Chains A and B, each alone.
Chain A
Amino acid sequence: MSANNMSDPRRQNKILRYKPPSTESNPTLEDPTPDYMNLLGMIFSMCGLMLKLKWCAWIAVYCSFISFANSRSSEDTKQMMSSFMLSISAVVMSYLQNPQPMSPPW
């Protein structure tokens, strides 16, 4: 037993490859923030575009930024980019149609 402590504990033949834990088995462990923020961002940018509400469009931009910051690296960047572009276009369209500054709610 003491010989083991002196000798090298490494064993080349006992190597096991890394298997990323499947997220379907533990859905509770996954952080839902980026998905929610993505969805919220899309909803707000649609509202901003359709109803011509500037503040909706700005909130959409914020949502897509937050979603981007919280996203996993394995996630598709195309989705991020598309929600981002959508929110930017909502802001731009609101201002093109109605260039007056946004009035504060108070």
Chain B
Amino acid sequence: MRSANLLLIPALLLLLALPVSRGRYNDDFDDGEDLADFDDNDFAEFEDMNDDPAAEAETAPPPRVSPSSQPEEDEDEDEATVELEDGQDGFDDSETQVHGLVPAHLQNSWESYYMEILMVTGLLAYIMNYIIGKNKNSRLAQAWFNSHRELLESNFALVGDDGTSKEAVSTGKLNQENEHIYNLWCSGRVCCEGMLIQLKFLKRQDLLNVLARMMRPACDQVQIKVTLNDEDMDTFVFAVGTKKAMARLQKEMQDLSEFCGDKPKSGAKYGIPDALTILSEMGEVTDGVMDNKMVHYITNHADKIESIHFSDQFSGPKVMQEEGQPLKLPETKKTLLFTFNVPGMGNTSPRDMDALLPLMNMVIYSIDKVKKLRLNREGKQKADRNRARVEENFLKQTHAQRQEAAQTRREEKKRAEKERIMNEEDPERQRRLEEAAQRREQKKIEKKQMKMKQIKVKAM
């Protein structure tokens, strides 16, 4: 519907703008009686122009000429000059003999508008690409869903939800966020709260993006985010993926940068291809996660794996705030994140979507596995120490700011008290409230003094 409208409008534009304006010119030139005067002298044509000011005003003004200024007129004319000589008739009589100066947009009609035609052709090409790209993305999304539907429906009670309907009923279809992003929410399973799958396709509907991708190839991605309840996962942070992805995540992600400070280790030590590297909180975690089946999955589909990230402290990428550090630790959630690359590097066909099915099996397997994975006593202690350390660091860094915030809060309270006392109409009550406030202040000061004395005694 939209695309039909878009096609219509440029066509309409072209049809309207040009003939209408040209029509006016034709009327002016096809004036039979003017022709009769031209045979007599060279300058008769210029006299006719002076008699007809109305026509001139509408057109790109043909230069006003006085009989003695023919060379001047040649300079004024920037489009085309037709030099009339006696006995010569190179052009069509009715049009060119009228003024001897014919602007280009009347001369060769369509050919002189080649820039405009180019523009409109470009627009049409963009629209065609939009339609084709949109359809391709839609077909890919549908193919993905068709191949994964059975697996998802056998694992989740709710497959597909847009959050708007009153009852929690599976919609059974993807949410389209964009022409290139599709969402699917699945919920209702043991071991997890829910799973959000995002199909992030390339922007095939945008011609600029298509051209940019010719320089820099990219691929479609499937991002899966599984959120877990507190009891579904033990405390650890772990990630595995391509070298580039790991380097980027370690810099960007809050939890990976805090808990996995070491450089990514090559995966070859654990039996997975060398192209993949591992970031882990401690060795025990890696050993626990990388069991045989997991290694098997990863090795067989290494080319499709961009990154896998398990974390009990996930809070998203690092947030840059203007006033320095935020006052509170960001909210964390136990999450499993998977990013898979669709094979084909952009030239994907709907059949390639079937290749992602084993990866979804891996996701389901991981959910169950993480539920069962428990650190031993040492590991748990280490993990708790790590978390305490991170929290302490954070508190230290924000100490000054929190003090300031506490101070402002106290001042606010005092001011509110004072205002209340002021607003009290009854003078008796006012006096009593004031006295109460004074007593409280006194108590506070005494307490502080006691504390100082105690500290001094202890120091001694």
Residues of B within 8 A of A78 (CB): none
Residues of A within 8 A of B157 (CB): 10-12, 14-15
Residue of B nearest to A93 (CB): B17
B297 to chain A, nearest CB (A): 17
Is A51 at the interface (CB under 8 A from chain B)? Answer: no
| Interface pair B176/A73, CB less than 8 Å apart | yes
Residues of A within 8 A of B43 (CB): none
The residues in B between 190 and 216 inclusive whose CB is less than 8 angstroms from any CB of A are 190-191, 193-194, 196, 203, 205-208
Is B122 at the interface (CB under 8 A from chain A)? Answer: yes
Is A70 at the interface (CB under 8 A from chain B)? Answer: yes
With A28-B317, A65-B123, A70-B203 already in contact, the answer to whether A10 and B105 are too (CB < 8 A) is no
| Interface pair A69/B60, CB less than 8 Å apart | no
Partner of A101, one of B113, B130, B179, B193: B113
| Interface pair A62/B190, CB less than 8 Å apart | no
With A99-B105, A102-B116 already in contact, the answer to whether A62 and B161 are too (CB < 8 A) is no
Cα–Cα, bound, A45→B208 (Å): 20
| Interface pair A101/B21, CB less than 8 Å apart | no
| Interface pair A18/B13, CB less than 8 Å apart | no
Residues of A within 8 A of B205 (CB): 69
| Interface pair B206/A101, CB less than 8 Å apart | no
Is B84 at the interface (CB under 8 A from chain A)? Answer: no
Partner of A9, one of B114, B187, B190, B207: B190
| Interface pair A69/B13, CB less than 8 Å apart | no
Residues of B within 8 A of A61 (CB): 119, 123
| Interface pair A18/B188, CB less than 8 Å apart | no
Is A6 at the interface (CB under 8 A from chain B)? Answer: no
| Interface pair A73/B178, CB less than 8 Å apart | yes
Q: For this complex, into which size category does the number of interface residues on chain B fall?
A: 35 or more
Is B158 at the interface (CB under 8 A from chain A)? Answer: yes
The residues in B between 98 and 130 inclusive whose CB is less than 8 angstroms from any CB of A are 103-105, 112-116, 119, 122-123, 126-127, 130
B228 to chain A, nearest CB (A): 12
B200 to chain A, nearest CB (A): 11
Cα–Cα, bound, A100→B22 (Å): 10
The residues in A between 1 and 60 inclusive whose CB is less than 8 angstroms from any CB of B are 1, 4-5, 8-20, 25-26, 28, 58
Is B432 at the interface (CB under 8 A from chain A)? Answer: no
| Interface pair B60/A104, CB less than 8 Å apart | no
Is B38 at the interface (CB under 8 A from chain A)? Answer: no
| Interface pair B179/A17, CB less than 8 Å apart | no
Residues of B within 8 A of A12 (CB): 157, 188
The residues in B between 144 and 175 inclusive whose CB is less than 8 angstroms from any CB of A are 154-158, 161-163, 168
Residues of A within 8 A of B86 (CB): none
Residues of B within 8 A of A5 (CB): 368
Is A86 at the interface (CB under 8 A from chain B)? Answer: no
With A18-B162, A73-B177 already in contact, the answer to whether A26 and B190 are too (CB < 8 A) is no
Residues of A within 8 A of B194 (CB): 16, 18
Residue of A nearest to B16 (CB): A92
Residues of A within 8 A of B79 (CB): 100
Residues of B within 8 A of A66 (CB): 126, 206, 208
| Interface pair A16/B193, CB less than 8 Å apart | yes
With A10-B156, A10-B157, A61-B123 already in contact, the answer to whether A18 and B185 are too (CB < 8 A) is yes
Residues of A within 8 A of B406 (CB): none
Residues of A within 8 A of B179 (CB): 69
Residue of A nearest to B191 (CB): A9
A43 to chain B, nearest CB (A): 18
| Interface pair A99/B18, CB less than 8 Å apart | yes
Interface string of B44-84 (1 = CB under 8 A from A): 00000000000000001000000000000000000100000
The 3 closest A-B pairs by CB, nearest first: A18-B185, A15-B188, A18-B163
Given contacts A69-B206, A101-B104, 13 further A-B contacts (CB under 8 A): A9-B155, A10-B154, A16-B187, A20-B163, A26-B316, A62-B122, A69-B207, A92-B17, A96-B21, A99-B17, A100-B103, A100-B104, A101-B114
Q: List 24 A-B contacts (CB under 8 A).
A: A10-B155, A14-B157, A14-B189, A15-B157, A16-B193, A58-B119, A61-B119, A65-B123, A65-B126, A66-B206, A69-B126, A69-B179, A70-B206, A72-B177, A74-B177, A88-B9, A92-B13, A95-B21, A96-B17, A99-B21, A100-B60, A101-B116, A102-B115, A104-B115
